[in-house]
Amino acid sequence: MTDGEKATSVEHGHTVNKSCVNLTCYMVLSDEERKAIGTICFLAGPVTLLENVLVLGVIASTATLRKRPSYLFIGSLALADVFASCFFTISFLHFHLFHLKDGPGAYLFKLGGVTMAFSGSVGSLLLTALDRYICIYHSSTYKVLLTRRRALLSLLILWSTIIFLSFLPLMGWRCSTGLTPPCSNLFPYINKHYQAFWTSFVLVILVLILGAYALILWKAHRHECSMTSFQGAAGKAQSRMRMDIRLARTFGLILLILVGCWVPVLSFMLVDVSVILTRDQQRAFAFCSTLCLVNSSVNPLLYALRFRELRIALLRMLQKLCCKGRCKKLTEDSSHGLPSAEDNCTALSDDEMPKARTTRPDSISEMVYSHQLTMRK
């Protein structure tokens, strides 16, 4: 019997793993599967890091963006995804590709970093969803309800809670039997009760995100229906698409990617709490876990770069780097805020001019902004 083979026997109703020496029972991937997962990580990891560092740089270098709660939450999401690209890629490749075997302390520290990164990512997505909920349900008092100070306080509470929960196994809530059942079949040294707790925690966050977006869509639908009935034939003659339909398309894409990336992993983790997983199921979980990294790589496209102001700030920053001498005047003027449409060094298409905000918003924030203007009228 080789180290990678799994011999089992039944003792007191549990399946006991006899070959789990030096974590070999968790290294279940074949050579072809290791190459495939290595390719995914080597591609998605650097891309995720570059995208989110760029988003953080734009927000940090733009005073007008740093002051707004929405961009603070986007910055928190980008920071979490930077951690995910580092912790997950390094620890995953070390374990499954290079078969580096750490001790309990080192392994649990790496796993805690991965847990912290992904927990921070979904937690920041929840704050972003709540921000949009408050913006559309309490548009007249939005700036009073969600100040920059309250946004920073919510981020402090979020990250403090996540860091504490993520490193609980390192602080002592680990499996008492080492590597044998009732330990997790997916993560060495992890207590199944902790695994069930963290999985339930993430599921609750996902449900709250779904609920927030569902309420936003319901509010938008009611508003559009009332406006259509009020305007009558004139409203039907409008050529632009209804706001609730645009929101439904946008949120549908966001939620489809979010659920598609997270539900497979969480399902395996919940099943592992009560059922002994086979080696094929362990291999499937390893591939599904890379979907969480893929989710972190598309988050900047779904959330950050859909904001018109952030795109303009990104163009300004890139042009500063490319033409410092030619754009010296732009650099001096931009210290007061985002560039206007008259800035010659900012290449904007017709769709990105401010007038487009009243004709066809292309991001959720602009849809909400249009909704606010209509309500005030």
Q: Residue 339: CB partners within 8 Å, gap ≥ 6?
A: 312, 316, 330, 333, 345, 346
Is 110 part of any domain? yes
Distances (CA, A) of 320 to 63, 113, 306: 16, 35, 22
- Residue 361 pLDDT > 80, yes or no? no
Number of domains in the chain: 1
Tokens 């949120």, residue?
251
Structural contact between residues 282 and 185, judged by C-beta atoms closer than 8 angstroms: yes
Residue ranges making up the domain that contains 209? 27-226+244-320
Is 351 part of any domain? no
3-state secondary structure of 276: coil
Is 105 part of any domain? yes
Is 136 part of any domain? yes
Is 335 part of any domain? no
- Read off the CATH number of the domain in which 216 is found: 1.20.1070.10
Q: What is the pLDDT of residues 34-60, one digit of tens each?
A: 888 888 888 888 999 999 999 998 898
d(C-alpha 217, C-alpha 136), whole Å = 10
User: For residues 61 and 199, which has the higher predicted lDDT (pLDDT)?
Assistant: 199
Is 70 part of any domain? yes
User: For residues 177 and 38, which has the higher predicted lDDT (pLDDT)?
Assistant: 38
Segment (H or E) for 257: helix 243-274
Average pLDDT value for residue range 315-337: 62
**What one-character DSSP code corresponds to residue 19?**
-
Average pLDDT value for residue range 216-234: 65
Buried b (16+ CB within 10 A) or exposed e, 206-216: beebeebbeeb
3-state secondary structure of 155: helix
d(C-alpha 159, C-alpha 124), whole Å = 9
Is 161 part of any domain? yes
Segment (H or E) for 293: helix 279-299
Residue 42: what residue type?
F
Is 195 part of any domain? yes
What pLDDT does residue 9 have?
A: 38
Give the pLDDT band of residue 374 (cuts 50, 70, 90).
low
Q: Which of 65-69, 332-336, 365-369: highest mean pLDDT? A: 65-69
What pLDDT does residue 277 have?
A: 83
**What one-character DSSP code corresponds to residue 14?**
E
